[in-house]
Amino acid sequence: MTVLKAESLSKNFRRGGLWGGGSALKAVDNVSIDLTEGETLAIVGESGSGKSTTARMVMRLIAADEGSIHLLGKDISHVRGKRLRMLRKHIQMVFQDPFASLNPRMKIVETVGEGLRVHQPKLSKAERRARVAQTLQQCGMDEEALDRYPHQFSGGQRQRIGIARALIVEPKILVLDEPVSALDVSVQAQILNLLKEIQTQQNLSYLFISHDLSVVQHIADRVLVMFAGRVVEQGTVTDVFESPKHPYTKMLLAARPIDYPHERTGKEEVAEVSEGIANTGCAFRLRCSHVQDDCAGFDGLDQSDDPEHGYHCLHPITD
């Protein structure tokens, strides 16, 4: 069952020009997302690829310029005010920085219980406290945490609190924006395990935003690769990681750090700067090893016959 469907989302930001004017930056260009119940869809890309903007549009935290969003079958593209707040019961967000996303002056019981005030206003204070304690426990935190403040916790514990805050309203979907990027490796492992556990227990769907390919390979079922605001490839994690079709995906995978020192390739040449993004045609063509003349006129559409594995490239990698 599809729980979230976003079609042809686009977002322009204006850059430069104090009094208007300036040029428009296409932060997100024609991105579509399909998320089914119980699955994890990852969006990967480097900074500026539009992955976080996409997540924020899906959450309706920022308005899309174009496109539509369906949540549990209902069109929520234009819902506003109280109705929008009520819809947030179904879709909640977990942020990257557990230090910045918790109010330092609110006790944990208040921060985590806030959602209940909106979505279950009839609960008594004691009932709310009990629900918070229960949700924190699911996330591996003791009852002792209830009356403390965020600064009394480590990064990993704060992220557990952030997850509890999202879970307490019993959503169907979590949008996780780089949820483990700010954490140490050993803490990251704990949080990834926690996310897996909760997903299995509650049949949650995750939209998982990350730049870390190893984390994505570990946690996601399907993946969508973005470059310069557009989707360049999408498919199951196995398909995309094992037989990437888009040269950008291939380059990203090749850029992963090695796991063991014996994988070193020997003497290195100084790689020159290559960061160009083309304004017309395929955005990646300036640094693409497969580039040909027709890439300058490419319309960015999916060129694949396989609905399960899409690639937006005229000259894909064939193995």
Partner 1 sequence: MRHTPAMLHVQDLSLTVPIKGKQVTAVDRISLTLEPGRVLGLVGESGCGKSITAQAMLRLGEYQGVLRSDGDILLDDQSLFSMPENELRKVRGGRVSMVFQEPMTALNPVFSIGSQITEVINLHLKMNKDDVQKRVIQLLQDVGMQDAESLLDQYPDTLSGGMRQRVLIAMAMAANPEYIIADEPTTALDVSVQKRIIQLLRSLQQQKNLSMLLVTHDFGLVAELADDVAVMYAGQVVESGTVEQIFDRPTHPYTRALMGCRPEVNEPGAALPVITGQVPSPGNWPTGCHFAERCPLADMMCQESVSLDAWAEKGHQARCVHVDVASPETSVSEIAV
Q: Which residues bind partner 1 (CB under 8 A)?
A: 46-47, 154-157, 184-190, 192-193, 196, 211-215, 217-219, 237, 251-252, 254-264, 267-273, 275
**Closer CB to partner 1, 33 or 180, in the complex:** 180
Between CA 242 and CA 166 the distance in angstroms is 33
**Closer CB to partner 1, 83 or 267, in the complex:** 267
Between CA 204 and CA 189 the distance in angstroms is 19
**Closer CB to partner 1, 121 or 261, in the complex:** 261
**Closer CB to partner 1, 126 or 271, in the complex:** 271
**What is the Cβ-side half-sphere exposure of residue 84, based on CA atoms within 13 angstroms?**
14
**Closer CB to partner 1, 64 or 139, in the complex:** 139
Between CA 216 and CA 207 the distance in angstroms is 11
**Closer CB to partner 1, 18 or 270, in the complex:** 270
Taking every pair of Cα atoms in the chain, the longest distance, rounded to a whole number of angstroms, is 68
The pairing of strands 40-44 and 205-210 is parallel
AA identity, residue 10: S
Smallest distance from the beta carbon of 97 to partner 1, in angstroms? 14
Smallest distance from the beta carbon of 49 to partner 1, in angstroms? 9
Smallest distance from the beta carbon of 66 to partner 1, in angstroms? 27
Between CA 90 and CA 290 the distance in angstroms is 43
Smallest distance from the beta carbon of 186 to partner 1, in angstroms? 5
Report the alpha-carbon angle 150-156-157, nearest 5: 45
Smallest distance from the beta carbon of 77 to partner 1, in angstroms? 32
**3-state secondary structure labels for all residues of 106-146:** CCHHHHHHHHHHHHCCCCCHHHHHHHHHHHHHHCCCCHHHH
**Closer CB to partner 1, 68 or 202, in the complex:** 202
Smallest distance from the beta carbon of 274 to partner 1, in angstroms? 8
Q: Which residues have CB under 8 Å from 182's CB, separation 6+?
A: 96, 97, 98, 99, 155
**Closer CB to partner 1, 90 or 284, in the complex:** 284
The pairing of strands 310-311 and 230-236 is antiparallel
Angle between helices 155-167 and 125-138 (to 10 degrees): 120
C-alpha closest to that of 219 among 207, 230, 231, 235? 207
Smallest distance from the beta carbon of 89 to partner 1, in angstroms? 29
**Closer CB to partner 1, 23 or 193, in the complex:** 193
Q: What is the DSSP string of 82-114?
A: HHHHHHTTTEEEE-S-TTTSS-TTS-HHHHHHH
C-alpha closest to that of 313 among 286, 287, 283, 275? 283
Smallest distance from the beta carbon of 257 to partner 1, in angstroms? 3
Smallest distance from the beta carbon of 161 to partner 1, in angstroms? 14
